[in-house]
Structure 1
Amino acid sequence: MKRVHSDIVQFRGSHYDFGQMQGELLKKSVILANRQKQRTASSRHLIIDEQRAKNILQTLAPRVWEEINGLADALNWSLHDAIREFGGYYLEYTRSGCSIYTESDFMVRNYDSSPQGYEGRLALYQPTDGGFATIGPTMQITGRTDGMNEKGLVMGYNFINRRNSEDGFICNMIGRLILENCATIDDAVDLLEELPHRRSFSYVLLDRTGKSVVVEASPRSVVVRESAVSTNHFELLVEENRYQIDDSRRREEAMLKQQQNKIDAYSAFRLLNDSNQGVFSTKYSTASGTLHTASYFPRNLEIGFAIGPDRLPLMLDFDKWLQGERLYAKRINGNIDTHFPFAHMAEL
C-alpha cells in the first residue's frame, strides 16, 4: 500500500490573486515538472490556435482567464504555455472510470483515473470579483473533477469516449464553469448546451431541490435524463459509447440494486468506498482505479472526502467556511494499493 495525501487549499480573493497564489504553490511542487515529462510529442501541439482558445476563454470564462493570467505571472510563463497547461480547452485527457450515486439529499462519487495525473489538491475558493464559491478536487489546477458550490449545486462527471473529438472544453474545465456560474440544475443544463465539448462525458447534477439528472454531452449533442446512478456509458446517445462497456454496466447494476433499498448517505459511501462491494476499482494500470471517494450534501453544504478504499470520510463544513471560519485541516491522508507514482508526490 502506498501512503497518499491530498492538500487542502483555501483562498478568498480575486481570480487573478487566486492564480498567483496557486502559481507560488506550484513552484514548490513536482506537478508541473511531471506534466512536462508526461506530455508526448503530439500533445505539445494540441492547442493549434492560441487566439481562438483565448477568445473562447475570455467570452465564456472571463474570470478563469484572469486566474490563468495570475498563474502565468507567478510562474513567469508566456500566456501560450499557461493557456495550454491551465486553459482546459482543446487538450488531451486520459481515459478514466468513475461511479456516481445520488439520492435527494446527497451525492457520492468515486473518481477513477491514473495516479500519474492526480494532483492531490482539494480547493476551497470564495471569489471577491464574481462567481459562486466552490469546493472540490482540482484537475489541471483550474479545473475540478467534482464539487459543490455555495448554492448547493453538486457536480460530478463520467468519462464516456475519446473518439470523434472536436474543438472545445474538456471535462474538468466544464465542471469548474458549472460550479462557478450555475445555481441550479436548469442553469447548468443551459451552460452545457452552450459550451463546446472536446470529448464525450456524462455530467451528473444534484441541487437543493433534491432533483438529480444525468446530462449526456458529446461534441455533437447534449441530452438530459433523470437518474440516480451513472457510470461510463450513455443510455440515450448510445452511438457515442465505447465498444466495451461491460465493467460500466456491472458497476451500474451494483448501485441500482442498492438504490431499491433507499440507502442513507453513509451506506452509499460504503457502497462506493469499500473494496468488497464491487464498485471501488483497483484498475490503476488502465487509468481507471479509484483515487478518491467524495460525498456532497447540498442542503447543509457539507462534504466527506477519503483517499483510497475502506476509509472513513473526513467531514468538512463548507457552510462554516463560507461564513469566515478557516479549516484547520491541512491534508487528507489515505492508502492506495498501486506501484504507480502520484504526480504531486514524487518525480515520475
Structure 2
Amino acid sequence: MIQVYSDVISFRGSHYDFGYKQGELLKDSPILPNRNKQWASRKKRHFVVNEERAIKLLTKFLPGIMDELQGLADALGWKLEDALKEFGGYYVEYGRSGCSILTGPTFFIRNYDSRPDSYEGRYVLYQPSDGGYATIGPSMQITGRMDGMNEKGLTMGYNFINRIKSDDGFVCNMIGRIILEACANVDEAIEVLKEIPHRTSFSYALLDASGKSVVVEASPRSVVARDSNISTNHFEMLTEENRYRMDDSIRRQNLLQAHRKGNINQAFQMLNRTDNEVFSKKYGAWSGTLHTAAYAPEERKTWFAIGADRMPVIFDFNRFLQGEKMNVKRIKGELDYHTPFINMELL
C-alpha cells in the first residue's frame, strides 16, 4: 500500500494569471521532471503539433486557453510553442485506461481507472474573470480536465475506447475542459463534440442540471449521441470502433445496470467499495481505480475520494462561486500499489 494525495488548487481571475500561478506551482513540483522522464522516448513522436491549426482551434472553442498557456510559459521561462506542445491537448496520446460512469437524475458518479504514475494529483477550482464558466474537477495535462462540473451544473466524464486509427485532433482531457468551460447544458456540449476534431475514440458521459443524461460516442471519423445513464469502455452505436476484447467493460456495465436506481450515496458506494467488483486494483495494466468522483448538479456539490472504501471529501461549489475561500488544501488516499502519483517523488 502507498499513501498518495491530490493538491487542491483554487483560483479566481484571468486566464493569463491562472496560467502564471500554475506555472509558479509547477516550478516547485515533481510533476514536470517526472513526466519528462516517463515520456522522453515518446516526445518526438507524440508531441508534434500543427501549431497554427492548434492555436486556431483553441481560440475558437476556448479563447482564454491561449492566455493561460502564455501565462504558463512566462512563469516557467518557456516559449509559447513549448507550452502549447506540453499543455495544449492537441495531437498527444495517452496510455489506455478503464473507467466506469453511472448517472441518475440528480447525480453523476465516476471511477477513473489508469496507472498511478500517470496521474497528476491536482483537483482544481477555477472561476475565470475574462469569459467562460467556472469549473471544478481533477486536471490532466495541467490544463485539461478528466471529469468535472461547471457553474451551470453541466457535468462531464470520459471513457477510453480505442486509439487505433487515430487522427489529428484534441485529446480527451482538453475536450473535457472545453465542454465544461464553454457549454451550459448537454445540448450545447453535444454540438461542440460534433464540431471539434478528436484525436482518438472516447465516450463522453454528460449530465446537466435539468437531469438530462447522454453518452456521446466520439471517434476521429464519427460522433453520435444516445440517451443513457451508464458508460464503460465500449461503444454501443459505433461498434466498428471498439477494441477486440470488451469482456471487462461489458461486465462492469452489467453490474452498474443492476444498481442504477439508487441515490447518490448508494451509487458512490457501488463504485468505490471493493466488494462491489467495479473498483479495480489492476494498476499495472492501466486499469486500476485512482479516484471516485461524484457530482450533484442541482446542488452544485462534488464528492471526491482517492482509493477504495473511502469517505469522500465534499466540496460545496456554490460557496466557491460566492467568493468563499476553500479550506481543503489536500485530499489524501491510499492505493494498493508501489508507485505514487507524479506530483510526488517517484520511488
Task: Provide TM-score, normalisation by structure 1.
Answer: 0.98
> Residue in 1 aligned with 2:5?
5
Q: Distance in 1 between matches of 2:14 and 2:96?
A: 33
Q: Distance in 2 between matches of 1:323 and 1:23?
A: 26
State whether structure 2 residue 10 is matched by structure 1 residue 16: no
Q: Deviations over 1:226-251 (max 9, x none)?
A: 11111000000000000001000011
Q: Distance in 2 between matches of 1:58 and 1:101?
A: 33
State whether structure 2 residue 325 is matched by structure 1 residue 339: no
- Spell out the pairing of 1:23-172 with structure 2 (5 A cutoff): 23-46=23-46, 47-172=48-173
- Deviation, 1:312, is 0.8
For residue 13 of structure 1, what is the amino acid of its counterpart? Answer: G
Mapped contact 1:43–1:92 kept (Cα < 8 A): no
- Deviation, 1:288, is 1.1
Report SS of the residue matched to 2:142: coil
Q: How high is the sequence identity, in percent, across the aligned residues?
A: 60
Mapped contact 1:97–1:113 kept (Cα < 8 A): yes
- Deviation, 1:61, is 2.4
- Deviation, 1:94, is 1.0
Q: Distance in 2 between matches of 1:178 and 1:172?
A: 10
Report SS of the residue matched to 1:168: coil
Q: Deviations over 1:56-89 (max 9, x none)?
A: 2223322111101100000001122111110000
Q: Deviations over 1:285-311 (max 9, x none)?
A: 011110000000000100010000000
For residue 282 of structure 2, what is the amino acid of its counterpart? Answer: K
Q: Distance in 2 between matches of 1:109 and 1:48?
A: 31
For residue 300 of structure 1, what is the amino acid of its counterpart? Answer: E
For residue 187 of structure 1, what is the amino acid of its counterpart? Answer: E
> Residue in 2 aligned with 1:308?
307
Report SS of the residue matched to 2:225: strand
Structure 1 window deviating more from structure 2 (78-87 vs 118-127): it is 78-87
Task: Provide TM-score, normalisation by structure 2.
Answer: 0.98
Q: Distance in 1 between matches of 2:271 and 2:83?
A: 36
> Residue in 2 aligned with 1:293?
292
> Residue in 2 aligned with 1:276?
275
- Spell out the pairing of 1:248-263 with structure 2 (5 A cutoff): 248-259=249-260, 262-263=261-262
Tell me the number of residue pairs that the alignment of Structure 1 and Structure 2 aligns.
346
- Deviation, 1:117, is 1.1
Mapped contact 2:49–2:85 kept (Cα < 8 A): no
Gap runs ≥5 in structure 1: none
Q: Distance in 1 between matches of 2:231 and 2:181?
A: 23
Report SS of the residue matched to 1:258: coil
Mapped contact 2:294–2:303 kept (Cα < 8 A): yes
Mapped contact 1:16–1:67 kept (Cα < 8 A): yes
Report SS of the residue matched to 2:274: coil
Structure 1 window deviating more from structure 2 (13-22 vs 37-46): it is 37-46
Q: Distance in 1 between matches of 2:49 and 2:254?
A: 42
- Deviation, 1:48, is 4.2
For residue 238 of structure 1, what is the amino acid of its counterpart? Answer: T
Q: Distance in 2 between matches of 1:242 and 1:206?
A: 26
Q: Distance in 2 between matches of 1:57 and 1:69?
A: 13
- Deviation, 1:278, is 0.8
Report SS of the residue matched to 2:3: strand
- Deviation, 1:126, is 0.3
> Residue in 1 aligned with 2:213?
212
Q: What CA RMSD, in Å, does the superposition of the two structures yield over aligned residues?
A: 1.0
- Spell out the pairing of 1:197-236 with structure 2 (5 A cutoff): 197-236=198-237
Q: Distance in 1 between matches of 2:329 and 2:285?
A: 31
Gap runs ≥5 in structure 2: none
For residue 106 of structure 1, what is the amino acid of its counterpart? Answer: F
